[in-house]
Amino acid sequence: MREYLLVVFCTAAVTYLLVGPVRKFAIIAGAMPPVRARDVHREPTPRLGGIAMFGGLCAGLLVAFQLSNLGKVFHEDSSDIKALLSGVGIMWVLGVLDDKWGVDALVKLGGQMIAAGVMVYQGITVISIPVPGVGPVALSPTLGMVISVALVVVMVNAVNFIDGLDGLAGGMVCIAAMAFFLYSYRLWYGYSISEAAPAALFSALLIGMCLGFLPHNLHPARIFMGDSGSMMLGLMLAVAAISVTGRVDPDLITAQTGGSQTATTHILVPIYIPLLLPLAVIALPLADLLLAVVRRTWAGRSPFAADKQHLHHRLLEIGHSHSRAVLIMYFWAALIAFGTVAFSFTNTGRTVVLTCAGFCLVGIVVLLLPWFRPKAPAAVQSMVPPRYRRGSRAAARGNAVVTAAGAVTAAAPAADPVLREEVPAMAELSARDQELLGRLGTGASAVGDHPKR
């Protein structure tokens, strides 16, 4: 476990440090597309965050290669590592081109299939499917290839579709990677199944990449990961799933459980139905993807035509703030992912995982309370955006009070509780918006006193 923690730390640190230079490069290169009608941010924000994440991935692989236990993954079976780098490289280049110049949806889909095909050619493919009471059922090379390519394309687009709010895609992929790491790590060290080693390493790398990028991507985001980041995360999650699915022999676990088929069935529940676990850990992105495809096709539009009706957009429409909507999606993702993984644990392990899922459920309930406003703990105040620091709203309350004529003057906090709630809302608006709202009260707009444009 210490080696995995070291890989996570190094990957996160390199990703975090690279974001600053990458952001400057994106601004110089002009990778700052104008705000579109479906966007929820107000100002053009640089993309190409996937460049920093790719750098963190390479650093994490170099560190893992030098470690005693994780180094065995490179020496004993390096095909998965080579296939991962090949697929990620193709997907990353495609994403960078899309972030800078834009790529047609069908061309992007073709590139995703090429990246998946290259990995299948190098050995990342579903070989068999474990069936209860039967054992591994071998798949034909063609069927295994089709399932593998389909899984990669679905996961890549599922992650890409939820990348609509600051920090949403990175956080949800991080949660999914944590759940998948628990499962693959237990198969490797708990039951000595070496086939699960690459999946555990890929999951650890994913966790580090997301943790290193999220501090720069939380609302208000300083940089977006763009398609260069979201498609790369989706591909890595798919590779982790494929590398363990179909390579775990149930007979190995049966031998360690005293020949009990019942115990073996319980342990292997998450992979009995093909790819159930990887689909469960991205249940929300997958549901959003399916709903978007059905919605757009029903309306006579292309499934890849962008709109503003994703799940996170609907949370904003019903009144949730940006931060609250993201946290709600986080907790739902964690509840489903860790709840699914808990089925493969027994006794103490299941209790721990179910406890985590219970805390996620409590978090969802708390977030739905109208008075709750998420704030960062005091220990990390200096490392998060000012929006999440304690006392920021109180300071905004005391700095400005909107008068009846619309002018903003410095004053002490208002005694009226209603006014105290309105001032922060006004303080979050731009100066131009505050001026327009102030003019509504004076009637200037009705008599034609409009500013010159």
What confidence score (pLDDT) does residue 157 get? 86
Nearest to 83 by CA among 229, 231, 238, 207: 238
Provide CB contacts within 8 A for 272, sequence distance 6+.
Answer: 130, 131, 132, 265
**Strand, helix or coil for residue 409:** strand
Tokens coding 126: 């579903």
Provide CB contacts within 8 A for 98, sequence distance 6+.
Answer: 108, 226, 227, 228
What confidence category does residue 407 fall into, taking pLDDT thresholds of 50, 70 and 90?
very low
Say how far apart CA 233 and CA 210 lie, in whole Å. 9
Residue 11 reports pLDDT greater than 90: yes
What confidence category does residue 353 fall into, taking pLDDT thresholds of 50, 70 and 90?
low
What confidence score (pLDDT) does residue 90 get? 95
Residue 50 reports pLDDT greater than 90: yes
With helix as H, strand as E and coil as C, how does 125-191 read?
CCCEEEECCCEEEECCHHHHHHHHHHHHHHHHHHHHHCCCCCCHHHHHHHHHHHHHHHHHHHHHHHH
Residue 243 reports pLDDT greater than 90: no
Q: What is the DSSP letter of 378?
A: G
Residue 112 reports pLDDT greater than 70: yes
User: Mean per-residue pLDDT for 58-68?
Assistant: 93
Nearest to 246 by CA among 218, 275, 210: 275
What confidence category does residue 264 fall into, taking pLDDT thresholds of 50, 70 and 90?
low
- What are the tens digits of pLDDT across the range 433-449? 666 666 665 444 444 44
User: Mean per-residue pLDDT for 209-235?
Assistant: 92
- What are the tens digits of pLDDT across the range 131-189? 655 666 778 889 989 988 998 998 898 888 778 788 888 998 998 888 889 888 887 77
In this predicted model, which residue has the larger pLDDT, 83 or 314? Answer: 83
What confidence score (pLDDT) does residue 293 get? 80
Average pLDDT across the chain, whole number = 76
Say how far apart CA 189 and CA 70 lie, in whole Å. 12
Q: Which long-range contacts (CB under 8 A, 24 or more apart) does 368-373 make?
A: 368/328, 372/324
The H-assigned helical ranges of 308-416 are 311-317, 322-341, 347-367, 392-399
- What are the tens digits of pLDDT across the range 282-311? 677 777 778 878 887 887 777 766 666 777
What confidence score (pLDDT) does residue 43 get? 81
What confidence score (pLDDT) does residue 183 get? 82
What confidence score (pLDDT) does residue 442 get? 47
- What are the tens digits of pLDDT across the range 84-96? 999 999 999 999 9
Task: List, as one string, the DSSP characters of 7-54.
Answer: HHHHHHHHHHHHHHHHHHHHHHHT--PPPPTT---SS-----HHHHHH
- Burial (CB count <10 Å: 0-12, 13-18, 19+), residue 376: middle
Residue 422 reports pLDDT greater than 80: no
CA-based R_g, the chain, Å: 24
Least confident of 211-215, 243-247, 428-432: 428-432
Tokens coding 134: 């039967």
What confidence score (pLDDT) does residue 194 get? 77
Residue 63 reports pLDDT greater than 90: yes
Q: Which long-range contacts (CB under 8 A, 24 or more apart) does 414-417 make?
A: none
What confidence category does residue 21 fall into, taking pLDDT thresholds of 50, 70 and 90?
very high
Q: Which helix (H) or strand (E) holds 429?
A: none
In this predicted model, which residue has the larger pLDDT, 135 or 403? Answer: 135
Tokens coding 130: 């474990």
